[in-house]
Amino acid sequence: MTDRQRETRMYLVGFGLALTLTLVPFALVHWGLMQGRTLAITIAVLAVAQIAVHLRFFLHIDLSRQKREDLQLILFTVLLLAIMAFGTLWIMGNLATRM
């Protein structure tokens, strides 16, 4: 198998997984198979799985030694975004209780 065929196969597998991880939450909501907190947790888990699929199959980031710097950069970016998002929600919640 040539490199081109291997890469094409990787993209097709990634596309299939991404499409499945997108359609499953829509189906769960549309047909009402789950409700409430269980539905929200399931959608969140599928979203994280889809992030992992995109990182692995489309951005080619894995745990190999040479890609570790890219992974650290992405994890640091996620940490900064999480601090900003949760900090904003915390401040807004605090201000809402003071109003």
Same domain, 29 and 54: yes
Structural domain range at position 19: 1-60
What pLDDT does 68 receive? 76
Which segments in the chain show pLDDT lower than 70? none
What pLDDT does 9 receive? 93
The packing angle between helices 36-53 and 3-30, to 10°, is 170
Domain tally, the chain:
2
What pLDDT does 21 receive? 95
Same domain, 41 and 72: no
Q: Rounded to whole angstroms, how far apart are CA atoms 59 and 70?
A: 10
What pLDDT does 62 receive? 76
Q: Rounded to whole angstroms, how far apart are CA atoms 50 and 79?
A: 18
| Global pTM value | 0.72
Same domain, 48 and 69: no
Same domain, 9 and 39: yes
Same domain, 42 and 56: yes
Same domain, 92 and 70: yes
